[in-house]
Chains A and B, each alone.
Chain A
Amino acid sequence: MLYAILCYNAEDVVMSWSQEEDDAVMARLNLTHERLTAEGKLGPSLRLMPTTAATTLIKSQDLVIDGPYAETKEQLLGFYILDISGLDEGLEIARELGRANPGGAYELRPLRLFLPGAPLT
């Protein structure tokens, strides 16, 4: 059974961590990451950049807005990981996906950290 764990926290607090605190948290997490990867249970894991780096495409209006998707009527139903040249290419792809599946929005958020983990089947 494949599961995703979505991580929520107070961004301004996390962004106030000093480098040492951040490293300490990551070191603690890595103990678990490494064990789970060795067990073949952990696929890709990633850390997002702050919401200030996000851009949102409202599909129905083809409207691009700065910042994260802030509405609460819709729920997070999935996500993609892309390796692309930048925001413009990302928006192009998001529009193409949106034509296939109109309604709702796509938030484009660059990744700060990407760990491939173990191959999952």
Chain B
Amino acid sequence: MIDMAWIDAALTSARPQAVGALLRYFRDLDTAEEAFQDACLRALKSWPVNGPPRDPAAWLIMVGRNAGIDGARRRAKQTTLPDEAVLSDIEDAETPLAERLDGADYRDDVLRLMFICCHPDLPATQQVALALRIVSGLSVRQIARAFLVGESAMEQRITRAKAKVAGAGVPFETPGPVERAERVAAVAAMIYLLFNEGYSAGGKQDDRARLADEAIRLARLLLRLYQTEPEIMGLTALLLLQHARAAARFDAEGEIVLLDDQDRSLWDLRLIGEGLALVDKAMRHRQPGPYQIQAAIAALHGRAARAQDTDWPQIAALYEALERQTPSPVVTLNRAVAVSRTDGPRAALDLIAPLEPRLAGYFHFHGVRGALLLELGQQAEARAAFNQAIALANTPAEAAHIRRHLDRLMPNGETR
């Protein structure tokens, strides 16, 4: 028995490999996508009748290549092609493929497809939108809904992004080790952006929140291609460990619930388990990188059965390591939160004081500062900081969260 859900999942999972290979054949993204689309239509007709092929991706590549060549022939009104390009009927596609895809080709195909979405001239959201379209195969309407914009606006955005990518020249030569490492890093960054689009969406399981699931799927795919890369283990672990808390991050009213106050029974233990296993694997390589360190921090939270069991000294040390690797005021701000748990709010305030000039326009800076001042009993200063934070809030949930702090300050002006 073969049901539509199975076919759907098979087409989705085969897509990066199949479109990647078709892109290598045709050297044109639109042709590759059309060819894949054709192959999918034939799969929908053929698979329920003939049964699914042993290797759906290879089937789709073969059928897609034939379809693409037919299409090119029609367009060129050209009847003669070199003999070798005249391929057998699609019924033959199931016979052992002359061209067994070798592992290296497959990896470079998928990596190339992901990498072309990471063009540095494309703004982050366009990289993500393009990846969702061509790597994940989401429809323009689904992407538009996820980004809360109109369908035609998103269509335009994706068309422009595609034109930019095509104009930049897709890198078809087999990359050398340095170049490959750069591509992997760029793709990892894009997947992280995609995850954050979903993560920042809030608690509702809407189109936007599903972006986090898709990011995890792509991270696992990248890790399957590069099984020995500790940073890709770290990235995948980080996404899994963060996503494990999704159900606990917002309350019934859609308001933010801080880590300390989350109902840990809502955490997804399967995702935490997978994340912890990947952190263990990555640590054995002794090549710490930013994703691994962030994953290690998330792992310490994930291991704590209760908020008071959290290993804050270790978290503070990890933020210090992260600061050394990627110095940034935002990392220091995060370290300060850990330091407030180990050395108290005064030490944390001292740590963030020098950040003010650079983070004056950053919501979380004022939110953290307000909370630390509140802990010290400096009500008036805390209120001023919270008011600054509200003015800079990025989402209604962020604003509501700060407002609750303010409300607690308001009644008599003195009580917490």
Contact = CB atoms under 8 A, between A and B. Distances in A.
B281 A53 contact: yes
Interface in B304-345: none
A13 B10 CA distance: 5
Interface stretch (B41-49, B140-148, B269-277): B269-277
A67 to B, nearest CB: 4
A67 B284 contact: no
A53 B277 contact: yes
Interface in B5-54: 5-6, 9-10, 12-14
Interface stretch (A14-22, A37-45, A73-81, A99-107): A14-22
Given A13-B10, A51-B224, A87 B277 contact: yes
B278 A52 contact: yes
Contacts of A1: none
Given A52-B227, A52-B278, A16 B12 contact: yes
A112 B270 CA distance: 6
Interface string B195-221: 000000000000000000100010011
A49 B227 contact: no
A50 interface: yes
Interface residues of A, number: 27
A71 interface: no
Contact of A12 (B13, B227, B280): B13
Interface in A62-121: 64-67, 86-88, 110-113
Contacts of A87: 277, 280-281, 284
Contacts of B270: 112-113
Size class of B's contact patch? Answer: 20 to 34
Best-surrounded residue of A12, A65, A112 (most CB of chain B within 10 A): A12
A69 B338 CA distance: 40
Contacts of B378: none
Contact of B220 (A52, A88, A110): A52
Interface string B372-407: 000000000000000000000000000000000000
Contacts of A50: 220, 224, 274
A88 B9 contact: no
B180 to A, nearest CB: 17
Given A16-B13, A21-B9, A52 B224 contact: yes
Contacts of B273: 49, 110-112
Contacts of A111: 273
24 contacts: A10-B56, A12-B13, A12-B224, A13-B10, A13-B13, A16-B12, A18-B213, A19-B213, A21-B5, A52-B223, A52-B224, A52-B236, A52-B278, A53-B278, A66-B227, A66-B228, A66-B281, A86-B276, A86-B277, A87-B277, A87-B280, A111-B273, A112-B274, A113-B270
Given A16-B13, A67-B227, A111-B273, 10 more contacts: A10-B10, A13-B10, A13-B56, A14-B9, A18-B213, A55-B281, A65-B228, A67-B228, A86-B276, A112-B274
Interface of B: 5-6, 9-10, 12-14, 56, 213, 217, 220-221, 223-224, 227-228, 233, 236, 270, 273-274, 276-278, 280-281, 284
Counting from the closest, the 5 A-B pairs by CB-CB distance are A87-B280, A67-B227, A12-B13, A16-B13, A110-B277
